[in-house]
């Protein structure tokens, strides 16, 4: 351990990603979340499960972003990667369903409500880009 | 500044660069896409150097063990020798010592080598004919069993390579064998974990290797092997598997027939459906899927939905090479 003052400063300035539990939290959340998504007839057609390993990797990137973790997604990335889904009919109702599963997953993992709200707000902030509006 | 070596060429990697940055700057032809560790397009291997931990984030344990890493996440800590995925391979000459039929269309081929052949049970190699024709086959034995490799070769209708092996190759002939590949193998850890093995046809080859390896390591969790084909004549090693059931309390063997003629002692149905219906929950299980690509892909999703973690699902889809007309 280094000196206490620095640690206290670090705690005060910890990011949501750190407070929520970092990569371990992402790993715990991803599979729970993705099972919910694939079980949901409203949205599972948007998730191509032909390559499950790649899908899981993508969901990890999604959770890392939602937890405010290290990522370099831009609004343009969000638009480009979801453009083909918008053509398939992706709209607000589907975005809402994903938000619902995100919240349920974090509740299941006993993440405190205030942190869930922060993560939901980050995910919500991508809505326009994801839906190509 | 560290040095990156690919075959005969050496490149420098600047302190702020990833391996991918450096190779792209040097105009090395390497596949890549997302550049943030998500797509795994730029996965490469450093056979002799342990890659930095951060460059292996999210990879399967068996890939980590073989020093695979993501070039886009790798800030090298030391000089590295790197193998790109499509780099030419090193072949070893082996001699055919056994060629006999396992059933009406599957050949047992055993190839012997002068020196020990290093591999993990369940991996595959490329076999190459003198004219360069090359096909991938899974290894069916374990490295502990002398300097040999065992293969199960199904005769494919107008399959040039399998016909050659079935009709022309005989004991004493030599054949070129590549280095072992693939990450569908057993790691001796979490020995109390349940193991599910599902295979169609010669998908039994890698599964038999994995099974032998797990039993040899004293794996104590339940091990279920589901082997399927359309007709009973296309299954093989049935008696050997039943014998293993007698010897190992934790091993269960369920041969499945999808066609209509189902003799006693066999289960009727598609092998993956029978397997998934037999096991209520796969949470915490390790799953190995080998054989027909469609079966493998479907079962991957099914096993995941039943609770298996993606990191614990190992798959080897047998793609048939399309012959050029």
Residue B22: the pLDDT is 95
Tens digits of per-residue pLDDT, B233-285?
Answer: 999 999 999 999 999 999 999 999 999 999 999 999 999 999 999 999 999 99
Q: Give the DSSP H/E element, type plus range, for residue A129.
A: helix A127-130
Architecture of domain A4-130: Orthogonal Bundle (1.10)
Give the start-to-end residue ranges of the domains of chain A: 4-130
Residue B222: the pLDDT is 98
Mean pLDDT score, A37-55: 87
Say which range, A52-56, B81-85, B120-124, B225-229, has the weakest mean pLDDT: A52-56
Which residues 20-79 in chain A show a CB within 8 A of chain B? 23, 31, 34-35, 38-39, 49-50, 52-54, 56-58, 60-61, 71-72
Q: Is residue A4's pLDDT more than 50?
A: no
Residue B131: the pLDDT is 86
Distances (CA, A) of B63 to A46, A119, B121, B185: 29, 32, 14, 10
Shortest distance between the Cα of B165 and any Cα of chain A, in A, equals: 33
Asked if A58 and B38 come within 8 Å (Cβ–Cβ), the reply is: yes
Residues of A in contact with B60 (CB under 8 A): 53
Residue B36 is nearest to which of A35, A39, A72, comparing CB atoms? A72
Give the start-to-end residue ranges of the domains of chain B: 2-81, 92-177, 195-317
Mean pLDDT score, B137-142: 95
The DSSP string of B117-155 is: ----TT-EEEEE-TTS-EEEEE--S-TTSSSEEEEEEEP
| Fold designation for B2-81 | Ubiquitin-like (UB roll) (3.10.20)
**pTM above 0.90?**
no
Residue A2: the pLDDT is 39
Asked if B38 and A72 come within 8 Å (Cβ–Cβ), the reply is: no
Q: Is residue B232's pLDDT more than 70?
A: yes
DSSP one-letter code for B30? -
Mean pLDDT score, B176-187: 90
- Please state which CATH number belongs to domain B92-177: 2.40.30.10
Q: Is residue A8's pLDDT more than 50?
A: no
Residue A9: the pLDDT is 45
Shortest distance between the Cα of B38 and any Cα of chain A, in A, equals: 5
Residue A3: the pLDDT is 42
Shortest distance between the Cα of B16 and any Cα of chain A, in A, equals: 17
- Please state which CATH number belongs to domain B195-317: 3.40.50.80
**Residue B201: closest CA among B318, B315, B298, B321:** B318
Tens digits of per-residue pLDDT, B11-46?
Answer: 999 999 999 999 999 999 888 877 877 777 789 999
Residue B38 is nearest to which of A34, A49, A57, comparing CB atoms? A57
Tens digits of per-residue pLDDT, B72-123?
Answer: 999 999 999 999 876 667 789 999 999 999 999 999 999 999 988 889 999 9
The ipTM is 0.80
Residue A60: the pLDDT is 86
Taking CA–CA distances from B308, the nearest residue in chain A reads: A31
Kindly report the backbone phi and psi dihedral angles of residue B276, in degrees, each rounded to the nearest multiple of 5, phi listed first.
-70, -30
Mean pLDDT score, B192-206: 97
**pLDDT greater at residue A75 or residue A72:** A75
Mean pLDDT score, A39-59: 86
């Amino acid at each position: 351990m280094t000196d206490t003052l620095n640690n206290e400063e670090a705690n005060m300035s910890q990011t949501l990603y750190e407070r929520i539990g970092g990569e371990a939290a992402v790993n715990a959340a991803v599979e729970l979340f993705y099972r919910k998504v694939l079980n949901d007839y409203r949205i599972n057609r948007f998730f191509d499960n032909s390559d499950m390993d790649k899908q899981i990797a993508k969901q990890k990137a999604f959770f890392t972003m939602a937890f405010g973790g290290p990522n370099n997604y831009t609004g343009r990335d969000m638009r480009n990667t979801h453009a083909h889904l918008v053509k398939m009919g992706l709209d607000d109702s589907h975005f809402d369903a994903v938000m619902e599963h995100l919240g349920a997953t974090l509740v299941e993992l006993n993440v405190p409500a205030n942190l869930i709200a922060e993560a939901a707000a980050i995910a919500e902030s991508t809505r326009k880009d994801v839906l190509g509006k | 500044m560290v040095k990156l070596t690919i075959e005969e060429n050496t490149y420098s990697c600047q302190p702020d660069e990833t391996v991918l940055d450096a190779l792209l700057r040097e105009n090395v032809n390497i596949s890549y896409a997302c550049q943030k560790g998500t797509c795994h397009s730029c996965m490469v291997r450093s056979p002799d150097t342990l890659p930095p931990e951060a460059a292996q984030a999210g990879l399967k344990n068996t890939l980590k063990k073989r020093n695979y890493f993501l070039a886009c996440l790798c800030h090298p800590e030391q000089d590295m020798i790197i193998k790109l995925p499509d780099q030419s391979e090193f072949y070893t000459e082996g001699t055919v010592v056994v060629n006999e039929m396992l059933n009406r269309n599957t050949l047992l081929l055993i190839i012997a080598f002068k020196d020990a052949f290093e591999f993990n049970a369940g991996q595959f190699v490329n076999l190459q004919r003198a004219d360069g024709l090359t096909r991938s086959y899974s290894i069916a034995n374990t490295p502990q069993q002398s300097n040999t490799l065992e293969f199960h070769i199904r005769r494919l209708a107008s399959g040039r390579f399998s016909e050659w092996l079935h009709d022309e190759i005989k004991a004493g002939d030599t054949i070129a064998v590549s280095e072992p590949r693939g990450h569908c193998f057993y790691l001796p850890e979490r020995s109390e974990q349940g193991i599910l093995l599902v295979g169609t046809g010669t998908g039994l080859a890698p599964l038999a290797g994995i099974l032998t390896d797990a039993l040899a390591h004293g794996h104590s969790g339940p091990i279920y092997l589901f082997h399927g084909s359309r007709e009973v004549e296309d299954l093989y090693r049935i008696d050997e598997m039943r014998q293993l059931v007698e010897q190992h309390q934790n091993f269960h063997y369920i041969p499945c027939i999808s066609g209509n003629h189902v003799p006693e002692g066999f289960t009727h149905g598609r092998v993956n459906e029978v397997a998934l219906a037999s096991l209520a929950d796969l949470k915490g299980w390790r799953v190995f899927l080998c054989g027909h690509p469609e079966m493998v892909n479907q079962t991957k999703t099914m096993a995941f939905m039943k609770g298996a973690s993606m990191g614990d699902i190992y798959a080897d889809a047998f793609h048939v090479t399309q012959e050029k007309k």
